[in-house]
Amino acid sequence: MSRFDDLFLSELERAEALGRRRRLRVVEPLDGGRVRLDGRELVDVSSNDYLGLSRHPALIERARDWAARYGTGSGASRLVRGTFEPHAALEAKVAGMKGTEAALIFASGWQLNAAVIPALLRAAREDGPPLVFADELIHASMHQGLRAAGVKPCRFAHNDLDALERLLAERSGEPGRRFILTESVFSMDGDRADVARLADIAERHGAFLYLDEAHATGVLGPRGMGLAGLAPGRVDLIMGTFSKALGSMGGYVAGSKALCDYLIGAASGFVYTTAPPPPVLGAIDAALELVPGLDAERAHVQAMASRLRAALADSGIDTAGSTTQIVPALVGGEAETLELARGLQEAGFLAVAIRPPTVPEGSSRIRFALSAAHGQADLERLIQAMAALWPASVHA
Ligand SMILES: Cc1ncc(COP(=O)(O)O)c(C=O)c1O
């Protein structure tokens, strides 16, 4: 109890009244894309562990090895204590795989976006207030970076690159450097941006292209290394995470050497935080070795996603513009979405209801995230469960 608990309790009551109080649930991760929840084994269609690598023996073993060799923690930030050889080696590996001059790793993808965006915009300040053009659905961490920079973006309709071009043209007479912020795969819709066209637009308008590849890394593009590979050398900054398909934790920037050298001293979330710890680096290292060879796993995930989309469409369910391993089932109302998630749990699936503010009002959904660890039988059971639950929960 604290003297200030009244503040927090009234906020919690407000959230409760709106049906938006968030609670944590304890789950135990299991093999085969499963978790145990309240003593029951469920097929987990809520995780971003798209390749099932978080339980891969090679990652576990290298995490153990590197803990034994280098210790469990890094002890301080890299500028204070010095960088460990594995940090530098991993960055060289990421840069090689992304085809960029350099790379820089961060403790998390959220922290990266929140810290790198203000650093970038600060570098551009001499030329007048920077102009930022952002897809309306960019991730919360990028909004955090924009807020920290005190910059209000011009938002363009989701994935509408004609609208982006119009906005850039409308503001063409204004001073200031241009930045385009978007994602290659959108986390809640599972659709893709046209990266080659984005690169064309950025070049035509002299704009800096910032591409978040959190949900593409490991899963899409040449050798699974993301969609920026479809526009080689033409994306100014690629960010991605090791925390999703790569089964571990952390974020990376891939770009020019000058950009990465600048961020070492300018990105607050790099300078003032402890370096990612050796066991995590070990897991990332092993994942990066495996990823190029996982074409069969990637094909399996995408084939399951196509089958799920087709089956949901047969039941009249809107899957937004999904073309990836993320397949949303759009419900609309929050209560109905929660009801559907409960029904799916009874049927043996951990499928989470995604509601505002994570997604726009009126677009609550179940976000299915498929993994190579799932089998065809899991998918067929999921399809049957959705067909049985859909009319009852949504049209009740
Ligand atoms: C598009 C996008 N960018 C960045 C992040 C943050 O990455 P991390 O989970 O590594 O902090 C996420 C995580 O949900 C995301 O979906």
pTM: 0.96
Label residue 20 by pLDDT band (50, 70, 90).
confident
Secondary structure E strands in the chain: 27-30, 34-37, 40-44, 102-106, 131-135, 154-156, 178-183, 207-212, 237-241, 251-255, 326-332, 349-350, 353-354, 364-369
Q: What is d(CA 371, CA 255) in angstroms, rounded to the nearest whole number?
A: 29
Match 């799920």 to its residue by tokens: 308
Label residue 82 by pLDDT band (50, 70, 90).
confident
pLDDT at 396 over 50: no
Active site residue 158: no
54-73: pLDDT as tens digits: 999 999 999 999 999 999 99
Active site residue 93: no
* pLDDT at res. 51: 98
pLDDT at 383 over 70: yes
* pLDDT at res. 40: 97
Least confident of 81-85, 122-126, 128-132: 81-85
Residue 284 alpha carbon to ligand 1 centre in Å: 16
* pLDDT at res. 393: 53
Of 48, 113, 141, 243, the active-site residue reads 48
The β-bridge relationship of strands 326-332 and 364-369 is antiparallel
Phi and psi (nearest 5°) for 195? -70, -35
204-262: pLDDT as tens digits: 999 999 999 999 999 999 999 999 999 999 999 999 999 999 999 999 999 999 999 99
The angle at the Cα of 58, spanning 52 to 59, to the nearest 5 degrees, equals 65
To test the ligand 1 pocket, which listed residue (241, 252, 325, 352) has its Cβ within 8 A of the most ligand atoms?
241
What are the residues facing 132 on neighbouring strands? 179
Q: What is the CA radius of gyration of the chain?
A: 22
The dihedral built from the CA positions of residue 61, 80, 114 and 211, taken in this order, carries a sign that is negative
* pLDDT at res. 392: 55
Q: Which atom of ligand 1 is nearest to the CA of 241?
A: 10
Mean pLDDT for 346-363 is 94
Mean pLDDT for 60-88 is 95
To test the ligand 1 pocket, which listed residue (187, 280, 359) has its Cβ within 8 A of the most ligand atoms?
187
Active site residue 244: yes
What are the residues facing 366 on neighbouring strands? 329, 353
157-176: pLDDT as tens digits: 999 999 999 999 999 999 99
